[in-house]
Amino acid sequence: MLCRLLLLTSFFLVSACATPQSDDAPEPETKVFVDDNNVLHYDGGINKDANQRTFELYKSLPKKPIKLKITSNGGDVMEGIRLGNWVFDNQFDVIVDKGCASSCANYVFPAGKTKYLYKDSALIWHGNSYQEDVNELVELGEQFAVDFRIAENTFYKKISVHPMLAEYGHKEFNAWTFLYHYFNETEGYDYSLEDMTKFGLTNIQLLDGVWEWRKHRPHLKVIRVEVDLNDLTSFKPN
């Protein structure tokens, strides 16, 4: 429901429900670098070029980093899954800096061996291959949607995370609440630390001892969704 007013082609470029960018305002290049503490940084949109630079940089380093620090509003869903697989395979810890949304929250954050949050780290989901409009394309056999579903299910099974992680919050949206949230520019939804564990997100550490990002980012309109474990246990991925 939430994404029906957005172009489906934009979904597959910038991930679930993100607003398409104007052609006149190209996204700045994603910054990839290693700091003095040997922490690998990924700052910006998730895309093929940034991923390739990340992989090549890592390969070139004699002393391999074990932490990835990321700030990203998301990006290409297939590249998000690719980056998530790489993070998991190389046993990276993931540190969310200012924020992690869309493909970043869907695939990179869950892949971390240990996941670190600052008190002001925003963590926002807003859909995946199981959201209504994409799911319809999967059922119609649209190849790009089918490929996305297969890659996503395979990834979540690999990292032992529930595939409804990024979609569950849509249960809060009916015809009326959709209109309210759409016109109030709702960014998406998030979960409490306790509810995140229900999806399989474990080993989350709070670097400041608290996680209170709303206090520091009041301009972001994000719904806190409560998770019923019965909803997850009854779900069968397809």
3-state secondary structure 84-149: HHHHHHCCCEEEEEEEEECHHHHHHHHHCCCEEECCCCEEEECCCCCCHHHHHHHHHCCHHHHHHH
pTM: 0.86
pLDDT in tens, 29-47: 999 999 999 999 999 999 9
The closest of 174, 28, 42 to 97, measured between CA atoms, is: 42
pLDDT in tens, 132-183: 889 999 999 999 999 999 999 999 999 999 999 999 988 765 544 554 455 4
Looking at residue 226, what DSSP letter applies?
Answer: -
Strand partners, 223: 189
* Burial of 171 per CB tally in 10 Å (0-12, 13-18, 19+): middle
Q: Which residues contact 57 (CB under 8 A, 6 or more apart)?
A: 32, 33, 34, 40
CB 188 within 8 A of CB 222: yes
Q: Which two tokens stand for residue 235?
A: 């779900």
pLDDT at position 238: 82
SS3 55: helix
The closest of 209, 30, 31, 227 to 120, measured between CA atoms, is: 209
Q: Which residue has the higher pLDDT, 6 or 30?
A: 30
Mean pLDDT of 111-130: 96
The closest of 140, 12, 141, 35 to 97, measured between CA atoms, is: 35
R_g (Cα) of the chain, nearest Å: 17
CA distance 123 to 222: 10
SS3 71: strand
192 phi and psi angles, rounded to 5 deg:
-70, 165
End-to-end CA distance of the chain: 20
Listed range (26-30, 45-49, 101-105, 178-182) with the worst mean pLDDT: 178-182
> How many helices and strands, by DSSP H and E, does the chain display?
10, 9
Q: Which two tokens stand for residue 23?
A: 């052609």
